[in-house]
Structure 1
Amino acid sequence: MNSRIQNFTGLAWIIIFIFFSKAPHFSLSDPRIFEAGLLCGKPPPVPNSSYIPVFVEEMRSLSQRVTADDWGNYTVHSADFSIYSLAQCHSDLSHDDCLQCYAASRTRLPHCLPSASGRIFLDGCFLRYDNYSFFDERTDPVWDKVNCNSTVGVGVGVDVEFGKNVAELMDNLTAAAVSNRGHAADGIKGVFGLAECWKTLTGDGCRECLAKANREVKTCLPSREGRALNAGCYLRYSTVKFFSNQSEDSNRNSGVTKTGTSIAIALSVAFFCMVSLFAGYASYGRWKRRKQRRSNLGRISYSYNKSNLNFKYETLERATNYFDGSRKLGQGGAGSVYKGTLSNGQTIAVKRLFFSTRQWVDEFFNEINLISGVEHKNLVKLLGCSIEGPESLLVYEFVPNKSLEECIRNKAKILNWKERFNIIVGTAEGIAFLHGGCSSRIIHRDIKSSNILLDENFNPKIADFGLARCFAADKTHLSTGIAGTLGYMAPEYLVKGQLTEKADVYSFGVLVLEIVCGRKNNAFEEDSGSLLKTVWKLYKTNRLTEAVDPLLKGDFPSMETSKVLKIGLLCTQASVAQRPSMEEVVRMLVNENCEIPEPNQPPFLNSMVSADSGQSSYSTNSSSSNTVKKLGDRYSSAESSSIQSCDL
């Protein structure tokens, strides 16, 4: 729903832009809609479903101020977030050109969504939104940029005289802009330039911003053109005169009053046409959405469509008391989960996706396709879904004792040894079933304590298959983008993006150590070392039982706990080949007479990477981040091969 609002609003602004670009101009000036820079912040881990409608309202209010004054700032606050925005046209633009430039910036800036911040520099205007008050921000050491790409031809080579002219002009402009309410435009000896400060800055703020811009834009030499794009100002030089002279514009516009009546009539007709177009588009949009829903449903298997798994959105709304906050069970990387009760009394869990981007859609259908036909006592059962409402919903069986993470991190319940052992065995059996017991080989990719749910008897059920992948039996690995949770991700997958079942084995090994030791694995913990390092040190000194959760107060079988910890270390070995399969893990856990090999040292990520120990799931299309580069030399990767994954 949010994306449809965004698309509709974007189309509206495109129509406005087309109208202004095709309508008769009363000035020979150029709206200068060349994109000098588009800077987007990082998307939030959990996009808020109400963000887009608020963003649209923010831009609508900002547009009114720009229409009235050629600039404006606006702020809106909600319970969960705030949006601050600023738009300003360069002072030399005519009002019509300003509206054209703003319309162009308004259609491009939403490309930053769902990020909570974005700014766009066009050669004639500036537009920015953010989650904090930036109105008096002069410079930004992170986001201030220089654009030296020339739109007027190739560089002029090493020309000392040209450089002197640019330097002289930039110095003159920065001084003139400070004394002229933040704007100056001039040219000398074949070089032209413009300086513009945002109107929310003080005189001192403008001076500071332009001083930095002056220093930085000169680094573009010997380019024929350069732009400094700072938080509080814009500075440009060029060998082509690109700005407008207000006196010339005034003469050109002297005849405007003579055609005022014609203009009013033309604008009225244009407005009527736009309203008609909007109405037609709305009707077309409703038809297209219905068609898209039918198409989306077609992506799900035939057996699923013919079953009773397709819930009505209104039914799930009523079941959760319209997603009442008191019904919220938890929140993950893809959405919030609510407890619901159907009309027949059945208790369910409803997963509500946050944002209708392609990523979420892919994960939604991926989860449906993978587990709708897969049943096992240690896998959360998918009961159905809804894609007919404003957001996508997944319906699962209700698991009353929440997640294993609640027991480990929040100590919601102190699990005795028998319960812990059963959770370990059940989780191992569930993963082994995914790897070889069902019709497709499925790799979960995000095995962790928050994705292990506990039923009324504290039996484990693996949940959240949005990141899971399946592949043919004759293939050895997938080459894919990284997705998972730091601290649980296998090193060869983190480094090369090469995915095998052994990635799940590694994650399971970390989980085993967490369950037995009663603490989370912080991969980058510097003080006491990561959980893997702690257990490994105790293993090397024959003191494994010291790693067991002290809350058990010694009430556990020492031989069995040592055996389980040893299996956990086996699963987390750096070498892929030396890790056991999940089938072998199950056999080692349940068979008392099974011989357990001696493990080798696991990888200690905290000694190789300096980073935050965040535990949220994420995905990326590249494995070349700084973190991965630092790890790359520590592991050898298997030979790459192409693979065809299951259809989503």
Structure 2
Amino acid sequence: MATAPRRLPMLLLAVVLSSSYVDVSVLEGQTYWPLHPYCSTTGNYTMDSRYRLNLLALVADLPARALDNSFYYNGTAGESPDEVFGLISCYADRNWTQCHDCLYAAAAGIQQSCPFSRQMKGAYDSCVLRYSNESFVSVADLSVAFYTWNYSREDYPASMNNTRWDLLTRLAAEAARSPLRFANGSVPYADRSQSPTTMHGLVQCTRDLNSSECSRCLTEFVSNLSSVFPSNTGGCIKGYSCYALYNIGDDDFLRVTIPPPLAQPPPSKLPPGAGEAPPLAAVRTSSRTQLVARVFAGVVIMLVISSSLLVCFLLGRRRRNRMARQVDTFDDDPLEEDFEKGTGPKRFRYSDLAVATSNFSDQMKLGEGGFGSVYKGFLKELKVEVAIKRIFKTSKQGRKEYISEVKIISRLRHRNLVQLIGWCHGGGELLLVYDLMPHGSLDTHLYSSNTILSWPLRYEIVLGLESALLYLHQDWEQCVLHRDIKPSNIVLDMSFCAKLGDFGLARLVDHDRGPYTTGIAGTMGYMDPECMVTGRTSAESDVYSFGVVMLEIACGKRPAVSRGREDIIHLVQWVWDSWECGRTLAAADAQLNLEFDDREMECMMAVGLWCAHPDRTLRPSIKQAVSVLRFEAPPPSLPAKMPVATFTATVDSSFVSASQLTGGR
């Protein structure tokens, strides 16, 4: 909304007098402060600048406009280069009075909250207010303003997390489709130790966002709830573009402020006789002839158009049927029984996935692994880009990997795990649909000459990976053994946040269960030496793989390290040699050009060696490794030389040295 200069005095007066003429629950002289506001510090405006006048004019107008528009409004004031863009919106879980007071008090205190800042983002208890010298509407801001939570906790967090995820993801989809961009609802919930109760949820986006941006924002926030509040009975994440909250048991929890959309006004009644046609007797013969001619011409034109549309439709349907290979319907399949416990992801039609990938063309292929190829696709129904994994038909293990992937990953909820969106096994194809990770796999970044991962990013990637493993090994209802942790199975989202994927080899075991025989599975170089010999796997086997990946990230070298033309040793042995000589930092990735934190580098290498210890009984739990990486516990005490462990092979009862598998001498 551009404001004419002649209106500025009246609008400025409105700002000055707003606290006097509006009933606002703020004491005289008190500023209504936002929680942890963002205030820009460069290019500040001055007291007598045109930008300040435009800002005051805009914030004076926003509250009243929002009250007239279901508690939301965005607009502009002035012209470039002093144009101000502003947005104000109420949180739907606050009552009318709280919302009303917040709108006016936030606007009145804008200059005290961020004096002279050209950009400001402020989240208050009941509303959010933003302004900037650059347009920000229509693009979701994923930053978190603040958290609120209940201190009481659930005894069985896995059950609560599943219920919360199902409720909030459903509400997020409803909000993205709603004109008001919000949805609330409740579902029955029963803790094993308590009587049945109810879980309530509410999600909301600011109404400048389209359906896709709203969905992107809410998906991020709902995902964060699982890691931020793993067992709290209530919690809320509020941001500048969206927020999500849930609560268990309080029936008065959801008192929604925003009214429903206004009904369309009924059609106005015409006075008697208005619009009536003249009597047929009054129409002359010539007029009747002209009318017949016009109707006949119209009918002919409509027939031509209809015929053309019908031909186009039939040709298009034939083309789509050919692309879909005539497998548009769901077949009855015994696999359905295997997916009874899977929740969350949906089943797709093969035709939809074929269209999304241009019939799985080579131009859409992102890569190829041991059991299938991965394609980039766009789902028109969800308006989202995805990665679609197509299992090789000739792979004997393909069906097992497919079932394992759907049954396990569909039940897991963590911000550092790849999210499975859906699956398809129609027409003899096995397809898995995931969120598309814009930055691809960690593997490509570690060994690409085009991009070099900075040290802070590498350290955050390791912390994200350990957070995922902590959830898999200890925080979920069962222990999940991944069995194939390696850089190519770690992908990076838009913010370079690490997400662990590919659960085709994963197995579920009870907590506190020791190693058990599963057969050899994994990737050479990352597999626990004991597992390779005995076929027994355990949580310590994943810890070993995690240790190798840590060393790979720190050193920029693959597990097989060459020391000459024919001398190749394992990365663990190579780093341990540097540790023995007291030259640990010399093993750091040369591409970093010594641009790293020495303390963090030494810590990562020490924890990497600790996790990759040849003797699994001397490896840390993932929780212990996390404590050291976060500098909450002292570093491990490691021997100078790499130990050599021995263990009994189950195949021929012979003793095999771990050094034979790790390259030790």
Q: What's the TM-score, normalizing by structure 1?
A: 0.48
The structure with higher relative contact order (CA 8 Å, sep 6+) is: 1
Higher normalized helix content (fraction of residues): 1
